């Protein structure tokens, strides 16, 4: 497949024609590109030579059985593995062609450009307003209180939460329901105005209705952001993502357009996994 | 001697009861169709427990009545003119008789009536002890037999044992509470007696502390609390000023920055500070820190006395560091990792994360650690005795000698003490003041913790 454009429909259209295992050699540079990424936790290798492109303004989902390395890979993309003492990352990851593991690169700036939403909703023990205002404040995105309020309102609107909380912005964020908390965390990530949003099983702690809302939100966010989502739910991967990458035992098994992966996977392991034979 | 016999008999009966109960249980359940409710061990325990409970009840009742009966026995043996002595003299006589009876020896020659009474008391004691042993043993056996007869497959022995354990635990926690109540009551009682000598207004607002004069000459001494209180507050404040920043920053470094290797070495070393006896700190303050501060003061043109509030406070601050650092460290480590990740994932730096997320979340615990440290500082005695200069004069200069409430309590209660004079009784009033201060601190702490608690669950 040699023309991944910014439009997902175009990607889908070409996906059926091109064999999915062919790496993308597109004219458009992928938003992020990982080459030969390996991760060790102390002596144990958790990820082996992963090559993966993250195309811009699309949703790519990472699937695979537990312990397959998909979350580890996700955390490489904004260097969250740096916070784990024993983790060691090797290989090459670029964001817009820039090596993010370069010594000259500021990890704080990277995380502002590549935001993250976690598995369990983790709002800070502060008010709803302060939760969303946290990022803009530390990055100095708003000079006046008015600007800050503006950013908070827009972020909450984009996260589809504004109407539910607009009258109680000063109440604690931890008082919201699980689904609302997760959307608050998404709003918090959006408020920094990132280019890429990483989501680590964002719906695994939510009920089906809250899940549907978050999935709907992910689909809308695709317009403005590039999204990488780790999920255990194959249905979710099928619903929200344009591309899917299958991990197994630390290796990237295969990667391709989502509909292709679910209808006609090339690798036996992928087929076994999505048909529920293991995992 | 009889005490040991009683304990031995009781333990033997309990063990016997346990075994017999197991045998009976087997017999009873063997011929019954009913599924037994409790396992055999519970039946055994139940019998052993009901062996002990009546026996203990007997011991307690005997213990309650013993002084009354002893008194009656002695009094009945005394000639009428001795019996009519004033109370405190009579008490002395009775003490002498007791000592003769137990072969303890007394000062001076024993009077004839004393010997008579002592012999009578000795006989009576022998009978008493025999009766006690007999009663304890028989009540234990009675309890054993009665409970043994209750054993059936349907007996809910497990539930009954559970109930006994619950009562036992309740009694244990009651000990701590009753002790506190007792301490407060005795403090209050003695303090009230003190305020019978000295006007509370003079005590709480007096600016002169000079209690010794009245024991020499006539008239009241001066029992002004303020010089002592100012000393205590000044020394504690200096200690906290030293300990809080150092302790908190140590905790932050240990919890958030230090490698696990460094933490494993450094944490125990810091905690050793808390294990050093305070008298050692006092000696250190007196011989090393004090002269050092005095020289330092001379070098920069400040008049610092070697024994001063500053010396005591600074050394005490070092002593308190591990309280703050260790507790805060635990609390900071307990803040969920998801908070940290959330903040770092938004591009916050480590110190921003600590300042804006971790510390607010850990605040209630840190306030608790802080107040614990303050109570330690207020109650600390040995360092102040040695290093503050023992100068109960109302002064606000930390570089001059000072003293504290605790040191004055020590001074008033060492050496000759007469618990009927205000010179000794003032110690209880001082103790009560300290108690109220720490109580107030705790109330304030609870209020702060409730108000600023940020839930992260």
Which residues in chain B are contacts of A126 at CB distance < 8 A?
360, 454
Which residue among B108, B132, B155 closes a domain?
B155
Among candidates B411, B415, B414, B409, which has minimal Cα distance to B428?
B409
Find the mean pLDDT for residues B19-23. Answer: 92
pLDDT of A14 > 70? The answer is no
pLDDT of A191 > 90? The answer is yes
Note whether B148 and B234 are same-domain residues: no
Write the CATH number for B393: 1.10.3720.10
Asked if A185 and A200 touch (Cβ cutoff 8 Å), the reply is no
pLDDT of B86 > 90? The answer is no
Q: How far is residue B84's CA from residue B89's CA, in Å, rounded to a whole number?
A: 10
- Taking all residues of chain A, what is their mean pLDDT, rounded to a whole number? 86
Exposed (0-12), middle (13-18) or buried (19+): which is B243, by Cβ within 10 Å?
A: buried
Residue B418's CB is within 10 A of a number of other CB atoms, namely 10
pLDDT of A24 > 50? The answer is no
Nearest CB partner across the interface for A138, out of B342, B352, B361 = B352
The string of pLDDT tens digits covering residues B380-393 is 889 999 998 888 88
Which residue among B155, B180, B203 closes a domain?
B155
> What local confidence, expressed as pLDDT, does residue A10 receive?
41
Q: How far is residue A271's CA from residue B38's CA, in Å, rounded to a whole number?
A: 55
Find the mean pLDDT for residues B421-442. Answer: 88
| pLDDT band, very low/low/confident/very high, at B1 (cuts 50, 70, 90) | low
- Between chains, do B342 and A126 touch, taking CB under 8 Å as contact? no
- Between chains, do A125 and B361 touch, taking CB under 8 Å as contact? yes
- Between chains, do A80 and B345 touch, taking CB under 8 Å as contact? yes
Note whether B277 and B141 are same-domain residues: no
Among B263, B340, B346, the strongest candidate for a mutation testing the A interface, having the largest count of A CBs within 10 A, is B346
- The two beta strands, A44-54 and A32-41, are antiparallel
DSSP per residue, A25-57: --SSPPSEEEEEEEEEETTEEEEEEEEEEE-TT
Among the listed ranges A235-239, B43-47, B178-182, B417-421, which one has the minimum average pLDDT value? Answer: B417-421
> What local confidence, expressed as pLDDT, does residue A12 receive?
41
> What local confidence, expressed as pLDDT, does residue A54 receive?
93
Which secondary-structure segment (H or E) carries B222?
Answer: strand B222-223
Assigned domain for B211 exists: no
Assigned domain for B295 exists: yes
Q: What angle do CA A197, A203, A205 make, to 5 degrees?
A: 130
pLDDT of A260 > 60? The answer is yes
Asked if B290 and B307 touch (Cβ cutoff 8 Å), the reply is yes
> What local confidence, expressed as pLDDT, does residue B455 receive?
53
Assigned domain for B93 exists: yes
> What local confidence, expressed as pLDDT, does residue A13 receive?
41
Q: Which domain holds residue B140?
A: 2-155
Closest residue on chain A to B360 (Cα): A125
Asked if B329 and B263 touch (Cβ cutoff 8 Å), the reply is no
Distance of residue A56 Cα from the nearest chain B Cα, in angstroms: 20
Find the mean pLDDT for residues A252-260. Answer: 91
pLDDT of A23 > 50? The answer is no
Assigned domain for B94 exists: yes
B340 to chain A, any CB pair closer than 8 A? The answer is: yes
Identify which has the larger pLDDT, A140 or B420. Answer: A140
Note whether B130 and B240 are same-domain residues: no
Q: What percent of chain B has pLDDT over 70?
A: 95
Note whether B121 and B238 are same-domain residues: no
What the block records as the tokens of B314 is 């600074």
Which residues in chain A are contacts of B457 at CB distance < 8 A?
174
Which residue among B101, B134, B155 closes a domain?
B155
> What local confidence, expressed as pLDDT, does residue A58 receive?
93
| pLDDT band, very low/low/confident/very high, at A247 (cuts 50, 70, 90) | very high
ipTM exceeding cut-off 0.90 for this assembly: no
Note whether B375 and B277 are same-domain residues: yes
Q: How far is CA B152 from CA B40, B50, B54, B161, B375, in A?
A: 11, 16, 22, 15, 56
Q: How far is residue A65's CA from residue A38's CA, in Å, rounded to a whole number?
A: 18
B217 to chain A, any CB pair closer than 8 A? The answer is: no
Among candidates A80, B386, B271, which has minimal Cα distance to B406?
B386
Q: How far is residue A264's CA from residue B173's CA, in Å, rounded to a whole number?
A: 69
Query: Which stretches does DSSP call E strand in B271-347?
Result: none
Q: What is the dihedral of CA A24, A109, A62, B457, to 10 degrees?
A: -170
> What local confidence, expressed as pLDDT, does residue B3 receive?
82
Q: How far is residue A41's CA from residue A47's CA, in Å, rounded to a whole number?
A: 9
Which residues in chain A are contacts of B353 at CB distance < 8 A?
none
Find the mean pLDDT for residues A37-42. Answer: 92
Asked if A91 and A35 touch (Cβ cutoff 8 Å), the reply is yes
Among the listed ranges A179-188, A189-198, A224-233, B65-74, which one has the minimum average pLDDT value? Answer: B65-74
Assigned domain for B177 exists: no
pLDDT of A3 > 50? The answer is no
Nearest CB partner across the interface for A118, out of B260, B338, B356 = B338
Q: How far is residue B50's CA from residue B171's CA, in Å, rounded to a whole number?
A: 17
pLDDT of B457 > 70? The answer is no
- How far out from the chain centre does Cα B284 lie? 27
Model confidence, pTM:
0.74
Exposed (0-12), middle (13-18) or buried (19+): which is B187, by Cβ within 10 Å?
A: buried
Which residues in chain A are contacts of B342 at CB distance < 8 A?
118, 122-124, 185, 188
pLDDT of B219 > 80? The answer is no
Q: How far is residue B303's CA from residue A80's CA, in Å, rounded to a whole number?
A: 55
Among candidates B219, B205, B240, which has minimal Cα distance to B433?
B205
The number of folded domains in chain B is: 2
Q: What is the DSSP letter of A23?
A: P
Q: How far is residue A113's CA from residue A119's CA, in Å, rounded to a whole number?
A: 20
B351 to chain A, any CB pair closer than 8 A? The answer is: no
Q: How far is residue A250's CA from residue A253's CA, in Å, rounded to a whole number?
A: 9
Q: How far is residue B341's CA from residue A8's CA, in Å, rounded to a whole number?
A: 31
Nearest CB partner across the interface for B346, out of A83, A111, A120 = A111
Among candidates B281, B244, B229, which has minimal Cα distance to B404?
B229
Exposed (0-12), middle (13-18) or buried (19+): which is A124, by Cβ within 10 Å?
A: buried
- Between chains, do A174 and B457 touch, taking CB under 8 Å as contact? yes
pLDDT of B218 > 60? The answer is no
Among candidates B257, B286, B263, which has minimal Cα distance to B401?
B286
Nearest CB partner across the interface for B346, out of A83, A85, A115 = A115
Residue A103's CB is within 10 A of a number of other CB atoms, namely 5
Which residues in chain A are contacts of B339 at CB distance < 8 A?
122, 124-125
The string of pLDDT tens digits covering residues A131-170 is 999 999 999 888 889 999 999 999 999 888 999 999 999 9
> What local confidence, expressed as pLDDT, does residue B429 receive?
92
CB contacts < 8 Å between A and B, how many? 77
Among candidates B197, B158, B104, B83, which has minimal Cα distance to B427?
B197
Residue B181's CB is within 10 A of a number of other CB atoms, namely 11
- Between chains, do A120 and B338 touch, taking CB under 8 Å as contact? yes
- Between chains, do A108 and B348 touch, taking CB under 8 Å as contact? yes
The string of pLDDT tens digits covering residues B112-146 is 888 888 888 888 888 888 889 999 999 999 999 99
Which residues in chain A are contacts of B341 at CB distance < 8 A?
80, 83, 116, 118, 122
Assigned domain for B215 exists: no
Note whether B229 and B149 are same-domain residues: no
> What local confidence, expressed as pLDDT, does residue A7 receive?
43
Which residues in chain B are contacts of A189 at CB distance < 8 A?
345-346
> What local confidence, expressed as pLDDT, does residue B29 receive?
84
Assigned domain for B192 exists: no
Among candidates A247, A237, A250, which has minimal Cα distance to A267?
A247
Q: With the C-alpha atoms ordered A53, A58, A63, A69, is the resulting torsion angle positive or negative?
A: positive
Which residues in chain A are contacts of B352 at CB distance < 8 A?
138
pLDDT of A252 > 90? The answer is yes
Q: How far is residue A250's CA from residue A247's CA, in Å, rounded to a whole number?
A: 7
Note whether B150 and B15 are same-domain residues: yes
Exposed (0-12), middle (13-18) or buried (19+): which is A42, by Cβ within 10 Å?
A: exposed
| pLDDT band, very low/low/confident/very high, at B453 (cuts 50, 70, 90) | low
Which residues in chain B are contacts of A125 at CB distance < 8 A?
339, 360-361, 454-456
> What local confidence, expressed as pLDDT, does residue A205 receive?
83
Assigned domain for B363 exists: yes
Q: Which residue has the tokens 């001379």?
A: B298
The string of pLDDT tens digits covering residues B247-287 is 999 999 999 998 888 999 998 998 888 889 999 999 999 99
| pLDDT band, very low/low/confident/very high, at B79 (cuts 50, 70, 90) | confident
- What domains lie within chain A, and their CATH numbers? 8-118+194-274 (3.40.50.300)
Q: How far is CA A226 from CA A8, A36, A149, A194, A221, in A?
A: 12, 22, 25, 9, 8
Among A83, A110, A230, the strongest candidate for a mutation testing the B interface, having the largest count of B CBs within 10 A, is A83
Tally the C-alpha atoms within 13 A of residue B153's C-alpha that lie toward its C-beta: 11
Three-state secondary-structure class, residue A156 = helix
Find the mean pLDDT for residues A201-205. Answer: 88
Asked if B176 and B68 touch (Cβ cutoff 8 Å), the reply is no
Task: Mention every residue, 6+ apart, whose C-beta is less than 8 A from residue B74.
Answer: B94, B97, B117, B120, B121
Q: What is the DSSP letter of B78?
A: S
B457 to chain A, any CB pair closer than 8 A? The answer is: yes
Note whether B260 and B375 are same-domain residues: yes
- Between chains, do A110 and B347 touch, taking CB under 8 Å as contact? yes
| pLDDT band, very low/low/confident/very high, at B448 (cuts 50, 70, 90) | confident
């Amino acid at each position: 497949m040699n023309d991944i454009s910014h439009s997902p429909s175009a990607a889908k259209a070409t996906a059926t024609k091109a064999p999915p295992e062919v790496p993308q050699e597109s004219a458009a540079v992928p938003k992020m590109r990982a080459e030969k990424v390996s991760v060790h936790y102390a002596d144990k290798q958790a990820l082996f030579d992963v090559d993966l492109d993250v195309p811009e303004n699309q949703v790519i989902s990472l699937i695979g059985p537990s312990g397959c390395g998909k979350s580890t890979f996700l955390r490489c993309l904004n260097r969250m593995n740096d916070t784990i003492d024993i983790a060691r990352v090797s290989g090459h990851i670029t964001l817009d062609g820039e090596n993010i593991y370069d010594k000259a690169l500021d990890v704080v700036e990277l995380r502002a450009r590549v935001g993250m939403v976690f598995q369990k909703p983790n709002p800070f023990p502060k008010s709803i307003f302060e939760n969303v205002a946290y990022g803009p404040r530390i990055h100095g995105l708003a000079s006046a209180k008015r600007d800050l309020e503006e950013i908070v309102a827009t972020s909450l609107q984009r996260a589809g939460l504004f109407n539910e909380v607009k009258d109680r912005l000063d109440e604690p964020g931890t008082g919201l329901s699980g689904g609302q908390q997760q959307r608050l965390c998404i709003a918090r990530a959006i408020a920094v105005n990132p280019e890429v949003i990483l989501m680590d099983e964002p719906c695994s702690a939510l009920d089906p209705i809250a899940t549907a809302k978050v999935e709907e939100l992910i689909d809308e966010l695709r317009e403005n952001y590039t999204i990488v989502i780790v999920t255990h739910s194959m249905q979710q991967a099928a619903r929200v993502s344009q591309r899917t990458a299958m991990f197994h035992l630390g290796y990237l098994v295969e990667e391709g357009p989502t509909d292709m992966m679910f209808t006609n996977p090339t690798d036996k392991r992928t087929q076994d996994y999505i048909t529920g034979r293991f995992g | 001697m009889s005490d040991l016999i009683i304990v031995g008999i009781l333990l033997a009966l309990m063990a016997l009861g346990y075994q017999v109960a197991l045998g009976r249980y087997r017999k009873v359940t063997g011929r019954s169709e009913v599924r037994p409710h409790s396992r055999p061990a519970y039946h055994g325990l139940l019998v052993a427990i009901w062996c002990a409970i009546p026996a203990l009840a007997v011991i307690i009742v005997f213990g309650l009545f013993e002084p009354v009966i002893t008194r009656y026995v002695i009094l009945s043996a005394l000639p009428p003119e001795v019996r009519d002595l004033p109370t405190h003299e009579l008490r002395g006589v009775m003490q002498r008789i007791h000592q003769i009876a137990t072969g303890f020896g007394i000062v001076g020659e024993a009077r004839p009536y004393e010997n008579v009474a002592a012999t009578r008391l000795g006989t009576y004691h022998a009978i008493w002890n025999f009766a006690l042993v007999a009663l304890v043993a028989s009540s234990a056996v009675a309890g054993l037999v009665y409970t043994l007869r209750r054993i059936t497959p349907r007996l809910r022995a497990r539930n009954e044992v559970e109930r006994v354990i619950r009562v036992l635990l309740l009694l244990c926690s009651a000990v701590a509470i009753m002790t506190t109540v007792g301490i407060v009551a005795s403090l209050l009682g003695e303090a009230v007696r003190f305020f019978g000598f000295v006007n509370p207004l003079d005590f709480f607002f007096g600016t002169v502390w000079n209690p010794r004069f009245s024991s020499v000459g006539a008239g009241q001494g001066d029992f002004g609390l303020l010089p002592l209180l100012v000393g205590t507050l000044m020394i504690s404040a200096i200690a906290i000023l030293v300990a809080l920043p150092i302790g908190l920053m140590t905790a932050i470094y240990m919890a958030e920055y230090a490698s696990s290797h460094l933490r494993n070495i450094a944490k125990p070393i810091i905690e050793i500070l808390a294990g050093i006896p305070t008298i050692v700190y006092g000696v250190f303050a007196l011989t090393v820190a004090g002269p050092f501060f005095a020289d330092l003061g001379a070098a920069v043109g400040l008049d610092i006395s070697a024994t001063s509030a500053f010396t005591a406070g600074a050394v005490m601050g070092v002593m308190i560091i591990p309280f703050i650092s260790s507790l805060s460290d635990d609390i900071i480590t307990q803040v969920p990792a998801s908070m940290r990740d959330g903040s770092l994932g938004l591009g916050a730096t480590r110190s921003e994360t600590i300042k804006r997320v971790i510390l607010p979340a850990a605040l209630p615990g840190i306030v608790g650690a802080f107040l614990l440290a303050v109570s330690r500082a207020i109650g600390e005695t040995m360092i102040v005795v040695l290093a503050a200069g023992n100068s109960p004069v109302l002064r606000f200069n930390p570089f001059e000698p000072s003293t504290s409430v605790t040191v004055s309590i020590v001074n008033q209660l060492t050496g000759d003490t007469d618990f009927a004079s205000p010179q000794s009784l003032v110690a209880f009033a001082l103790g009560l003041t300290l108690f109220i201060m720490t109580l107030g601190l705790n109330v304030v702490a609870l209020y702060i913790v409730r108000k600023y608690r940020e839930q992260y669950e």
